[in-house]
Each structure stands twice: as structure tokens, then as C-alpha cells.
């Protein structure tokens, strides 16, 4: 497959393939695909002849730079016009979501955008034999389509969020935050935490707790619980197990153990920690990101067995605790390059179908970094991906939500990671968080949304993503989320 790329009607001579990957008709990323840019063309090579789509970070004048897909297209000798195909896919998504959301009637202020977007796209198709002209018309259509798609997603969210609020469909813990154990003795930190959130999550890192085999250091968790129990907050903790390198003890990483031995060791750790806090912690993230992070290269059936063992260990140690299986990267881009990984929905479906004893799924949502799953997306894409999880017969917890309040360098540069409307700043972070929380909590199957970090820390996944500065000064996002929470619980 070949795509010709234009900017302002001229062929692009230089183009960064940030976040680029191919996917099939089932939405699953295609492995062993090669994507290169040369002389104004993106060349895509794959191992089979099936239809495929291309997704990549795409600039939109007046809106920013977000990761957008084409539709699935057949292979052919003649190049596709990428500007046209990305616009076609966005317009198709709008049509599909309007039908899903029952927005059949024209919505005030949006009908003109819709008509203009479709008129420009029809003219682009009529001029498809003149690629530069077609690309300019497609760009005009996309400018209006992307604005329309976000307005539709936000309008739908506001309506359902308001309905859920009026019917008292939210528990106090629906606004949640992961805490920083290093700040637990800081009274101002606790004051800001309690001023906004109705529940908290205590982070767990196996590598730090059992740095020596069989010797456990629970001091940080004990300190957190000592403070938080007095505040009578619902407490969650996790992840108990994560098979990304930074969560694994050095002695296990270097031990060259068999799967059976690793499973036994993990089971013992989970039993130890859950048993210690069984009367205090109400919900555990039993295992996190095993769909994407698989340092030991577990096979398909071993991934399922490790998931089962983690939840069995929690149930044995605390029969009443809620068991949450956390999913990393819900779009599944990692699958194209990470061996021994499983697409998100495939993993979730096999866990449900195999009878693993657990209570809910957690979905990580981080944006603002040039890494798989973290490139910036528009709000309709976020709402649409959440809708794909609705048929799963388990509640959803949104976990590890974070976006930056200012641009960074390297992987955190907006030109590589994505730009939502403008370069990240406090006002934009506040607007994004307000809209995201409403979209997520408008879904009846979403129980809660957990923000990743209250304050800016040097080790956060997304830099400058706190709701407070490192001096504990509230950012605009803190106030925006406080206003949203007060609107829910002041009724």
C-alpha cells in the first residue's frame, strides 16, 4: 500500500511517522509490517494481502496534531491520497457514532459544520484525479469534521452525565486518585487530596517491597494506611503484579526461573500482602498490563494462568475484596511490535470466557508521550473506544489517567506525542480533564475514574501531569475537577 501525503496542496518532502501502525479489519494491529516515508509517499508493506488501515499522528490546522486512522483499504498499485482517506475515516466514525448515540436530529450549532464537512469531502472525491486539489478540499472537510466529532462526543457525554447525576448514579468514590507515598506525612497534601477525591489508590511495586527474596518491606504502605484509615476513605491498592521490568524484583529478573516457579513466587507475594491488609483495602488491582507487558515472554496459556493465579491468591486471602484486572493501552498499538502480547479485547474476552474469578476491568488512559498508546487522540475516539468495552459483562474502572500541563522535550514533545488544540498548558489540561471525566463517567458501565498523580513528580509517566505543582499549588485542572465533583455531590 502507498499513501501520498500533502500539506496545503503541495507534496510533503519530510514527514515524521509518529505513532504509525497498520491494523486489520478487526481493528487489531498487524505484525511484521514495515512503514517508511520516501519522496512524499508513505510505503506500507505487510505479510498478507488482506485489507488494512494506517493510523498515525496527523496535523490538523487550527486543531492540533492527533493520532488518526484511515479506513481499511485494499492493496493496489495506485497510491491513496492520505489526506482524503483520513478524512473519509473521520466522517464515517461521525456517522456511526451519531447512529449509536441516537443523534439523528440536527443539533444546534452543528448542522452547518456537518454540511460543510460533507460538501468539502464530496468535492474532494470529485477531484480525486487531481491529488493536490483533492487534498486541499479533504483538509477543509477534516477541519470541520474533527471539530464536529468532538462537539458530538462532548454533547452526548454532558447529556448522559447530567442524567446519571440527577438519578444519583455516582458513588463518592467515582472521583479517585493514586497517591504519592512520599507525601503522605504532608498535611497540605492530604488536605488537597481530601478536598477533591472520595477514594484513593495506594501504589504497589513488588520490586520495592520484596527487594530480597522472602523479606518484605511494608513501611510505605503502612504509613499510607495509618494516615488514610483515619480519614475513612475507601482504599484501593495495586498493581499487585505487573510483568514490566520496573515492577519485578532484581532477584527474580536474574534468576532464570521456570514459569511454574515464577507463578508460585508471585502467588506467595500476593497472598502475603493481601492477607496483611485484608480488613482495610476494599479493592485490589490484581494484575496489570499483562496484555502488553510480558518481560518473561509467557505464552498465551501462561498469561491466562498467571491472571487466574493472581485473582485466586487475592480471593484466598480476602474473600470480600474487589478484584480488578488492569488493561494497558486499550487501542492495542503495542501488539504490532511487542511479541508475546495479546490485543486488549482478545485478552479481556479470554479472561471472561475462561471463568477467572474477578470483579472488574481497569483501563489505563495516558496521553502526551511519544510511546505506543500515549499519543494524543480526539475526544470522539476516546468515547468510541470506551463504547467497545460496553458488551463485556464486567464493570470498568478507568485508571492511571494523566495528561500534561505543559510541553516537554524528547518523548514529551507535542510534535511527536500529539497536540490537542494547542501546546499543553494549565488551561488546556483543565479543559481536557473536565471533558474526559464527563465522557468516561457518562458511560453507565464505568464505575470510577482515577487520576494518576495529585502533584508533579519527577518519576510520573507523563511529565508535568499533576493537578498540583510540586509546591502543592493548585493548577487550573484541580479547580476544574473540584467544580465538576461539587456539581455531582452537592445535589
pLDDT of residue 104: 61
- Whether the CA torsion 353, 355, 360, 366 is positive or negative: it is negative
Cis check: omega of the bond before 239, within 30 degrees of 0: yes
Which stretches in the chain have pLDDT values below 70? 104-107, 491
Assigned C-alpha cell, 101: 448515540
pLDDT of residue 126: 98
CB 400 within 8 A of CB 366: yes
CB 31 within 8 A of CB 335: yes
**What distance in Å separates the CA atoms of residue 115 and residue 388, rounded to the nearest whole number?**
28
Find the radius of gyration of the CA atoms of the chain.
23
By DSSP bridging, strand 419-420 and strand 235-238 are unpaired
DSSP letter at 66?
E
pLDDT of residue 140: 98
pLDDT of residue 346: 96
Where do the domains of the chain lie? Answer: 2-161, 169-489
pLDDT of residue 222: 97
Assigned C-alpha cell, 7: 500539506
pLDDT of residue 110: 83
The strand ranges marked E within 413-489 are 419-420, 446-451
Superfamily of domain 169-489: Glycosidases (3.20.20.80)
pLDDT of residue 107: 67
pLDDT of residue 105: 61
CB 274 within 8 A of CB 314: yes
pLDDT of residue 172: 83
pTM of the model: 0.96
Amino acid at each position: 500500500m502507498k499513501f501520498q501525503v500533502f500539506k496545503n496542496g503541495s507534496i510533503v518532502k519530510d514527514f515524521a511517522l509518529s505513532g504509525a501502525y497498520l491494523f486489520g479489519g478487526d481493528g487489531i494491529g498487524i505484525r511484521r509490517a514495515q512503514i517508511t516515508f520516501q519522496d512524499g509517499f508513505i510505503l506500507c508493506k505487510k505479510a498478507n494481502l488482506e485489507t488494512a488501515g494506517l493510523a498515525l499522528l496527523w496535523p490538523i490546522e487550527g486543531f492540533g496534531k492527533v493520532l488518526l486512522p484511515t479506513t481499511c483499504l485494499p492493496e493496489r498499485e495506485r497510491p491513496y491520497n492520505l489526506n482524503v482517506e483520513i478524512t473519509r475515516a473521520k466522517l464515517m466514525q461521525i456517522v456511526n457514532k451519531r447512529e449509536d448515540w441516537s443523534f439523528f436530529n440536527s443539533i444546534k450549532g452543528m448542522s452547518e459544520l456537518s454540511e460543510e464537512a460533507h460538501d468539502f469531502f464530496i468535492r474532494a472525491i470529485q477531484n480525486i484525479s487531481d491529488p493536490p486539489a483533492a487534498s486541499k478540499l479533504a483538509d477543509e472537510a477534516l477541519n470541520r469534521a474533527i471539530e464536529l466529532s468532538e462537539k458530538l462526543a462532548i454533547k452526548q457525554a454532558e447529556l448522559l452525565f447530567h442524567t446519571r447525576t440527577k438519578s444519583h448514579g455516582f458513588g463518592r468514590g467515582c472521583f479517585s486518585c493514586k497517591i504519592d507515598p512520599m507525601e503522605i506525612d504532608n498535611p497540605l497534601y492530604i488536605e488537597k487530596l481530601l478536598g477533591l477525591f472520595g477514594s484513593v489508590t495506594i501504589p504497589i511495586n513488588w520490586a520495592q517491597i520484596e527487594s530480597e527474596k522472602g523479606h518484605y518491606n511494608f513501611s510505605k504502605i503502612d504509613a499510607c494506611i495509618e494516615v488514610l484509615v483515619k480519614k475513612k476513605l475507601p482504599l484501593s491498592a495495586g498493581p499487585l503484579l505487573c510483568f514490566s521490568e520496573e515492577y519485578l524484583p532484581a532477584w527474580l529478573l536474574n534468576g532464570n526461573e521456570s514459569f511454574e516457579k515464577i507463578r508460585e513466587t508471585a502467588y506467595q507475594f500476593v497472598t502475603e500482602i493481601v492477607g496483611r491488609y485484608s480488613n482495610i483495602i476494599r479493592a485490589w488491582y490484581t494484575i496489570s498490563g499483562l496484555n502488553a507487558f510480558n518481560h518473561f515472554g509467557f505464552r498465551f496459556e501462561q498469561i491466562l494462568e498467571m491472571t487466574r493465579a493472581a485473582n485466586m491468591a487475592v480471593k484466598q486471602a480476602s474473600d470480600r475484596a474487589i478484584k480488578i484486572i488492569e488493561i494497558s493501552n486499550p487501542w492495542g498499538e503495542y501488539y504490532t511490535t511487542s511479541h508475546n502480547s495479546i490485543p486488549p479485547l482478545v485478552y479481556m474476552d479470554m479472561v471472561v470466557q475462561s471463568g477467572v474469578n474477578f470483579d472488574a476491568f481497569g483501563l489505563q488512559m495516558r496521553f502526551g508521550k511519544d510511546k505506543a498508546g500515549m499519543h494524543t487522540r480526539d475526544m470522539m475516539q476516546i468515547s468510541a473506544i470506551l463504547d467497545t468495552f460496553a458488551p463485556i459483562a464486567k464493570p470498568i474502572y478507568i485508571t492511571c489517567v494523566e495528561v500534561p500541563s505543559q510541553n516537554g522535550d524528547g518523548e514529551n514533545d507535542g510534535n511527536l506525542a500529539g497536540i490537542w488544540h494547542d501546546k499543553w498548558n494549565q488551561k488546556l489540561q483543565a479543559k481536557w480533564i473536565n471533558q474526559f471525566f464527563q465522557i468516561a463517567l457518562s458511560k453507565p458501565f464505568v464505575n470510577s475514574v482515577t487520576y494518576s498523580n495529585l502533584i508533579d513528580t519527577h518519576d510520573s509517566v507523563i511529565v508535568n501531569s499533576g493537578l498540583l505543582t510540586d509546591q502543592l499549588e493548585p493548577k487550573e485542572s484541580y479547580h476544574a475537577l473540584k467544580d465538576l465533583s461539587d456539581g455531582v455531590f452537592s445535589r
